Amino acid sequence: MPLYEFYCPKCAKEVSLTLTFGERERGEYKCPACGEKALQPLMGTFFSKTSRKS
Ligand SMILES: [Zn+2]
């Protein structure tokens, strides 16, 4: 699963979340520290370890 980075306005820091594509599409994510759901996606920063297991 890809790792997405968000900015949490409550914690005032960046958080990294591992989400499925569907979870991200539906906005089913929250800050692991404070539970804030209004996370701001950091543009262009997602890492997937090019795991090509087919
Ligand atoms: Zn937070």
Answer yes or no: is 14 within a domain. yes
Q: Poorest-confidence range of 2-6, 8-12, 44-48?
A: 44-48
Answer yes or no: is 52 within a domain. no
> How close is the Cα of 29 to the center of ligand 1, in Å?
11
Answer yes or no: is 31 within a domain. yes
Q: What is the pLDDT of residue 45?
A: 45
Answer yes or no: is 22 within a domain. yes
> How close is the Cα of 41 to the center of ligand 1, in Å?
13
> How close is the Cα of 49 to the center of ligand 1, in Å?
25
Number of domains in the chain: 1
Q: SS3 for the chain, per residue?
A: CCEEEEEECCCCEEEEEECCHHHHHCCCCCCCCCCCCCCEEEEEEEECCCCCCC
pLDDT at 42 over 80: yes
Residue 40 CA to its chain's centroid (Å): 9
Mean of the per-residue pLDDT values of the chain? 85
pLDDT digits (tens, 9 = 90+) for 28-41: 999 999 999 999 98
State what percent of residues in the chain have pLDDT above 70. 78
Answer yes or no: is 21 within a domain. yes
CA 54 to CA 38: how far, in whole Å? 34
Q: What is the pLDDT of residue 50?
A: 58
Return the closest-CA partner of residue 46 out of 29, 11, 36.
Answer: 29
Answer yes or no: is 54 within a domain. no
Q: Are 47 and 3 in contact (CB under 8 A)?
A: yes
